[in-house]
Amino acid sequence: MPLPPVIDDRPAEGIFRVHRDVFRDAALFEREMRTFFAGHWVFVGHASQVPAPHDYLTLRLAGQPLVLMRDGAGRLHCVHNSCRHKGAMVVHHRRGNRRTHVCAYHGWSYGSNGANIAIKAEAQGGYTAAFGAECHDLVPVARFAEYRGFLFASLSADVPPLEEYLGDARVFIDMAVDQAEQGLELVPGSVTYSYQGNWKLQLENSTDAYHFTSTHPSYLRLLERRARMPGRADVEKAIWQAEKKQEETMGSFGFPNGHALVWTTTPQQNHPLFPQLPQLRSRVGDTRADWMLRTRQLNIFPNLQIASNAALQMRVITPLAVDRTEITSYCLAPVGESPERRRQRLRQYEDFFNPSGLATPDDTVTYEDCQRGFASGDIEWQQGYMRGMQRVVRGADAHAAELGITPDTSVSGSFEMSDETVFHALYRHWASRMEAAA
Number of CB atoms found within 10 A of residue 87's CB: 10
| Binding string, residues 272-301; x marks residues near ligand FES by CB under 6 A | ------------------------------
Point out the residue whose Cβ comes nearest to Fe ion: 363
Query: Is 115 an interacting residue with respect to ligand FES (CB under 6 A)?
Result: no
Specify the residue, 106 or 341, whose C-beta has the smaller distance to ligand FES. Answer: 106
How many Å apart are CA 243 and CA 246, to the nearest integer? 8
Specify the residue, 51 or 132, whose C-beta has the smaller distance to ligand FES. Answer: 132
Instruction: Work out the burial of residue 45: count CB atoms within 10 Å of its CB; fewer than 13 is exposed, 13-18 middle, 19 or more buried.
Output: buried
Q: How far is the CB of 83 from ligand FES (least distance, A)?
A: 3
How many residues sit in the footprint of ligand FES (CB under 6 A)?
A: 10
Name the nearest CA neighbour of 296 among 248, 247, 263: 263
Query: Is 41 an interacting residue with respect to ligand FES (CB under 6 A)?
Result: no
Angle separating helix axes 235-244 and 217-228, nearest 10 degrees: 120
DSSP assignment, residue 140?
A: B
Query: Is 106 an interacting residue with respect to ligand FES (CB under 6 A)?
Result: yes
| Burial profile 54-75: b = 16 or more Cβ within 10 angstroms, e = fewer | bbbbbbebeeeebbbbbbeeee
363 binds, among ligand FES, Fe ion, none (CB under 5 to 8 A by kind): Fe ion
106 binds, among Fe ion, ligand FES, none (CB under 5 to 8 A by kind): ligand FES
Binding residues for Fe ion, rule: CB under 5 A, are 363
Specify the residue, 138 or 203, whose C-beta has the smaller distance to ligand FES. Answer: 138
152 contact partners, CB below 8 Å, separation of at least 6:
41, 42, 43, 44, 144, 145, 146, 162, 165
Q: Are residues 276 and 163 in contact, defined by beta-carbon separation less than 8 angstroms? A: no
Using the rule CB under 6 A, which residue among 66, 79, 91, 103 binds ligand FES? 103
Using the rule CB under 6 A, which residue among 11, 14, 27, 105 binds ligand FES? 105
352 contact partners, CB below 8 Å, separation of at least 6:
219, 309, 311, 358, 359, 360
Specify the residue, 12 or 121, whose C-beta has the smaller distance to ligand FES. Answer: 121
Q: How far is the CB of 122 from ligand FES (least distance, A)?
A: 12
88: alpha, beta or left? (left if phi > 0; alpha if psi -120 to 50): beta
Interface with ligand FES in residues 54-93 (CB under 6 A): 83, 85-88
Ramachandran angles phi, psi of 436, nearest 5°? -60, -40
Query: Is 110 an interacting residue with respect to ligand FES (CB under 6 A)?
Result: no
How many Å apart are CA 436 and CA 156, to the nearest integer? 14
Specify the residue, 105 or 274, whose C-beta has the smaller distance to ligand FES. Answer: 105
Using the rule CB under 6 A, which residue among 16, 108, 199, 427 binds ligand FES? 108
Gap between the terminal Cα atoms of the chain: 6
Specify the residue, 62 or 89, whose C-beta has the smaller distance to ligand FES. Answer: 89
Q: Are residues 42 and 203 in contact, defined by beta-carbon separation less than 8 angstroms? A: no
Query: Is 353 an interacting residue with respect to ligand FES (CB under 6 A)?
Result: no
233 contact partners, CB below 8 Å, separation of at least 6:
227, 270
Number of CB atoms found within 10 A of residue 365's CB: 12
3-state SS, residue 417:
helix
Query: Is 244 an interacting residue with respect to ligand FES (CB under 6 A)?
Result: no
Interface with ligand FES in residues 173-192 (CB under 6 A): none
Q: How far is the CB of 213 from Fe ion (least distance, A)?
A: 10
Beta strands in 74-142 (DSSP E): 76-80, 95-97, 100-102, 109-111, 116-118
Q: How far is the CB of 85 from ligand FES (least distance, A)?
A: 3
Specify the residue, 81 or 409, whose C-beta has the smaller distance to ligand FES. Answer: 81
How many Å apart are CA 375 and CA 379, to the nearest integer? 9
274 binds, among ligand FES, Fe ion, none (CB under 5 to 8 A by kind): none
Q: How far is the CB of 119 from ligand FES (least distance, A)?
A: 8
Q: What sign for the dihedral angle of Cα 371, 375, 381, 384?
A: negative
Query: Is 223 an interacting residue with respect to ligand FES (CB under 6 A)?
Result: no
Q: How far is CA 289 from CA 85, 179, 227, 399, in A?
A: 53, 8, 26, 14
83 binds, among Fe ion, ligand FES, none (CB under 5 to 8 A by kind): ligand FES
Specify the residue, 85 or 226, whose C-beta has the smaller distance to ligand FES. Answer: 85
Q: Which residue stretch of 69-77, 104-112, 358-366, 385-393 sits at the interface with ligand FES (rule: CB under 6 A)?
A: 104-112
Specify the residue, 84 or 387, whose C-beta has the smaller distance to ligand FES. Answer: 84
Q: How far is the CB of 81 from ligand FES (least distance, A)?
A: 11
How many Å apart are CA 1 and CA 353, to the nearest integer? 40
Q: How far is the CB of 77 from ligand FES (least distance, A)?
A: 18
Residues that bind ligand FES (CB under 6 A): 83, 85-88, 103, 105-108
